[in-house]
Amino acid sequence: MQEGNEKKLEEMRKTVDEKLNETLEKRLGESFKQVSDRLEAVHKGLGEMQTLAVSVGDLKKVMSNVKSRGVLGEYQLQNIIEDLLTNEQYEKNVKTKVGSGALVEFAIKMPHGSNFEKVLWLPIDSKFPKEDYESLVDAYEHGDLEKIESYRKAFINGIKKNARDIREKYIDPPNTTEYGIMFLPYESLFGEVLRVPGLFEQLQKEYKITITGPTTLSALLNSLQMGFRTLAIEKRSSEVWDLLSAVKTEFGQFGDVLAKTKKKLIEATNVIDSSEVRTRAITRKLRNVQELPGNAPNPLLDFIEPGDENP
C-alpha cells in the first residue's frame, strides 16, 4: 500500500511539475512578447521623436532668420487676402508713397470719394517681432517680474518701431488712407499687444496704425468686402440713371421728329383732299362729253396698229 501511495504521489508530482512548467513557459513567453512589443513601440516612438526634434530644429532655424519670418508672415497675410478679396481689389508690392522707393507688401484698393475711377490705397504690412515676444513668454513662465518688465518694454518698443516704419514708408494721404494696418501672423502676438494697457489706442492715435491678428484682419476684410459690394451697386445705379437720362433726351427728340412727321402727313392729306375735289370737278365736266363708238378710230390719238411699221 505504501509503495502504491508513493507511486501515485510521484505521478501526481510529475503531473504538477509538467503543468507548472507549461504554464510558466506560456506566461513567460507572453510576458516576454509583451515586453518586446513595448520596447519596439518605445523604439519607434524614439525614432519619431528624433524626427520631430529635427523638424523642430529646422523650424527654429527658419524662425530665427528675420527674412524667413517675414516671408512666413507675408504668405499667411497673402492667404487671408486671397480668400476674402478678388484680384481686382488689391495689389502686391505697391509703391504707395510719392518719392519713396519702399514697396508695401499688400495694398487694398479703396474708393476715392465719389470718384470711382481713382484709387485710394490702404497699405497692409506684416511684422513678426519673435525675439522680444519669446523672451517675454519665457519670463512669464519663470515668474521673473524684473525680466517681465524689461522684456515687455522691449516688446512695446519693437511694436512702436514697426508702426513708425509703416507710417513713414507707406502712408501718404491723399494717395493713401490716413491710416495703415500692421498684421501680426499669430493671435498670441496680437493678444500680447492688447494686454498692454493703452498700446493699441496709442498706435492708432500717434502712428495712424491699426494692429490686427489673423481673425481681426479677416473680420476687417469681410467688412471691406461688404462696402465694395455696396459701392458697386451705387456705381451701377449711377450708370443706370445716366442711361435713363440719355434715353429721356432721345425720347424728347423723337417726339419732336414725330410731331414734324405728323404735320407733313396732315399737309399731304390736305393736298390729296384738294386733288379729290379737282377730280370730282373734272368728272362733272366730262359727263356731257359724248363717248365715241367702240370700233371707230380716234382721230385725236396717234394710234398704231400692231405690226404696222409705217404709221
How much is the average pLDDT of 241-247?
63
How much is the average pLDDT of 127-156?
84
The confidence band for 293, taking pLDDT boundaries of 50, 70 and 90, is low
Domain assignment of residue 103, yes or no: yes
**Nearest partner of 226 among 85, 80, 107, judged by Cα:** 85
pTM, entire model: 0.53
Helix (H) or strand (E) holding 112, with range, is strand 104-112
DSSP string, 57-85: HHHHHHHHSHHHHHHHHHHHHHHHHHHHS
Domain count, the chain: 1
Domain assignment of residue 303, yes or no: no
pLDDT at 62: 44
How much is the average pLDDT of 278-298?
63
SS3 per-residue string spanning 217-231: HHHHHHHHHHHHHHH
Helix (H) or strand (E) holding 104, with range, is strand 104-112
Q: Which residue has the higher pLDDT, 48 or 149?
A: 149
pLDDT per position as a tens digit, 163-201: 999 999 999 888 888 889 999 988 888 888 888 889 999
Domain assignment of residue 57, yes or no: no
pLDDT at 272: 79
Domain assignment of residue 208, yes or no: yes
Q: How far apart are CA 89 and CA 112, in angstroms?
A: 13
Domain assignment of residue 185, yes or no: yes
From 22-31, 44-53, 84-93, 263-272, the region with the lowest mean pLDDT:
44-53
Domain assignment of residue 196, yes or no: yes
pLDDT per position as a tens digit, 60-109: 444 444 444 556 678 888 899 888 888 888 899 988 888 878 899 899 88
Is residue 213 within 8 Å of 184, Cβ to Cβ? Answer: yes
Helix (H, G, I), strand (E, B) or coil at 167: helix
pLDDT above 90 as % of the chain: 10
Domain assignment of residue 171, yes or no: yes
Q: How far apart are CA 186 and CA 181, in angstroms?
A: 15
Helix (H, G, I), strand (E, B) or coil at 106: strand
Mean pLDDT for all residues in the chain:
75
Domain assignment of residue 184, yes or no: yes
Residue 182 structural domain: 72-232
pLDDT at 97: 86
